[in-house]
Amino acid sequence: MIYLITWLIRKRRRPTDPIEPPAAVPVETPAAASKRDGAAARTPSHFVSADTVAVPRATQGAPALSVHNLGKRFGDRTAFQDVSFEIGYGEVFGFLGPNGAGKTTTVRTLGTLIAPTSGSATVAGIPLTPENGVEIRRRISIMPESPGLYLRLSVRENLACFADLYEVPDTGDRIDRALRAVHLADRARDACGTLSKGLRQRVALARALLSDPQVLFLDEPTSGLDPVAARDVHELIDELRRRGVTIFLTTHRLEEAERLCDRVAILNTTLRTIGRPSELRDQLFARTLAVKTLVPLSEPDRVFAGLPAVDGWHHEGPAGYVLDVSDPAVAAPAATRALVAAAADVLSISESRHSLEDVYLELLNQDQEASRR
């Protein structure tokens, strides 16, 4: 079967092959290719060493992805609109949103699979235009939610087919490095149909690494995986981050995004917010301290009133209190001293922590309330 697939791949290329002798056709030299694409000049140990990805000199200091007022419509339906952000090289960027928010369409647009209807973007240092599609695809990889592997072929045979399709140099070496990067070297001869879903996701990630991408788009990489398999994918993403690969991650798992991403954006057709998870929490929610005592305080207002960095308080349960604070590091010691002075039996004092899920749900609730008006 692999020979048939390989033959079909090469046959598909044949109509585009030059009819004239090679000497009469302008062919890009290896030196020119190296200048054009820094990825082609990377060392063979890129996947498996701790070295960072070599960013092409022409793009050093520029963002890996730069998007300005990008939009996509399908007839009367708007998939997404007025989306703007920048992502630096080596950043893990989370792209969150409900079903139908436009996340996958955004990935397909930035991956040159569909054309935008408005706005502009630069991907891996190259303007997003139809004539630049091939060049952009040389510098990126997209790992879709469904691996799309040939189940009757072995892991190595699958990678060989796609390496041939991608026209990567040093095919055997690239495959070996990709397998080692995802810890599948010992499963190279196994048929993909015999692998668990988690292992198939690893094969798909190895396939995405074959072209040594500067920007890697991961669309729901842990969808349907059990916690152990999902943890393995998280560890692989952490390794790629350390090597300097820019990762654009779409996911419904908010705890995954909070753990892995340097910054996140929340999309609901339009971009609702963007920033570090901690910054988004501070923007949407007041900072609070949760106080619990063994028995209710007889005069809580006398205990909490006038404390430094405490702006107010309210009850939470019979013996629980929530303090609105401007600086927890100042308010917590002051509240502790006041409770001790009041002879209170303190069970706990802790800063309330809102999760990225709280931020996400708050923004979506705001959108739902606005749509009802």
Interval 203-227 mean pLDDT? 89
Whole-number pLDDT of residue 118: 95
Whole-number pLDDT of residue 167: 85
Residue 31, in any domain of the structure: no
Closest CA to 80 of 90, 69, 89: 69
Structure tokens at 333: 């010691």
Q: What is the residue-wise DSSP string for 72-106? A: EEETTEEEEEEEEEEE-TT-EEEEE--TTSSHHHH
Q: Let me know whether 336 and 237 are in one domain.
A: no
SS3 sequence, 244-291? Answer: CCEEEEECCCHHHHHHHCCEEEEEECEEEEEECHHHHHHHHCCCEEEE
Q: Let me know whether 291 and 257 are in one domain.
A: no
Whole-number pLDDT of residue 223: 81
Whole-number pLDDT of residue 139: 92
Share of the chain above pLDDT 90, in %: 50
Q: Let me know whether 247 and 291 are in one domain.
A: no
Quote the CA–CA distance of 200 and 215 in Å, as a whole number.
21
Q: Let me know whether 198 and 344 are in one domain.
A: no
- Residues 305-332 have pLDDT tens digits of 999 999 999 999 889 999 999 898 999 9
Q: Let me know whether 212 and 292 are in one domain.
A: no
Domain count along the chain: 2
pLDDT of residue 129 exceeding 90, the answer is yes
Residue 104, in any domain of the structure: yes
pLDDT of residue 17 exceeding 80, the answer is no
Q: Let me know whether 103 and 236 are in one domain.
A: yes
Please tell me what DSSP assigns to residue 358: H
Domain housing 312 = 286-353
**Edge-to-edge, what's the strand order for the sheet holding 270-275?**
140-143, 215-219, 246-250, 92-96, 263-268, 270-275
Interval 95-115 mean pLDDT? 92
Please tell me what DSSP assigns to residue 52: P
Whole-number pLDDT of residue 169: 86
Quote the CA–CA distance of 151 and 46 in Å, as a whole number.
28
Specify whether the CB–CB gap between 286 and 98 falls below 8 A.
no
Q: Let me know whether 270 and 315 are in one domain.
A: no
Lowest model confidence (mean pLDDT) among 6-15, 240-249, 286-295: 6-15
Q: Let me know whether 165 and 245 are in one domain.
A: yes
Interval 131-157 mean pLDDT? 91
Residue 26, in any domain of the structure: no
Lowest model confidence (mean pLDDT) among 50-54, 157-161, 297-301: 50-54
Q: Let me know whether 246 and 171 are in one domain.
A: yes
Supply φ then ψ for residue 233, to 5 degrees.
-65, -40
The mean pLDDT value of the chain amounts to: 83
Whole-number pLDDT of residue 13: 54
Whole-number pLDDT of residue 233: 85
Interval 43-48 mean pLDDT? 38
Whole-number pLDDT of residue 211: 87
Residue 29, in any domain of the structure: no
Residue 265, in any domain of the structure: yes
Lowest model confidence (mean pLDDT) among 154-158, 238-242, 321-325: 238-242
Share of the chain above pLDDT 70, in %: 83
3-state SS, residue 127: strand
CATH number assigned to the domain comprising residue 229: 3.40.50.300
Q: Let me know whether 224 and 86 are in one domain.
A: yes
Q: Which of 212, 239, 274 is the last residue of a domain?
A: 274
Specify whether the CB–CB gap between 136 and 213 falls below 8 A.
no
Sign of CA dihedral 81, 85, 87, 92: negative
pLDDT of residue 24 exceeding 70, the answer is no
Q: Let me know whether 267 and 328 are in one domain.
A: no
Residue 322, in any domain of the structure: yes
Task: Label residue 321 exposed, middle or buried (CB < 10 Å: 0-12, 13-18, 19+).
Answer: buried
3-state SS, residue 130: helix
Residue 256, in any domain of the structure: yes
Closest CA to 215 of 67, 321, 114: 67
CATH number assigned to the domain comprising residue 311: 3.30.70
pLDDT of residue 73 exceeding 90, the answer is yes
pLDDT of residue 26 exceeding 70, the answer is no
Q: Are strands 77-87 and 126-127 parallel, antiparallel or unpaired?
A: unpaired
Whole-number pLDDT of residue 170: 87
Q: Can you tell me which residue has the tokens 């600086």? A: 327
Whole-number pLDDT of residue 244: 85
- Residues 256-308 have pLDDT tens digits of 888 999 999 999 989 998 999 888 877 777 788 999 999 999 999 999 999 99
Q: Let me know whether 302 and 216 are in one domain.
A: no
Angle formed by the axes of helices 277-284 and 356-372, to 10°?
50
Residue 369, in any domain of the structure: no
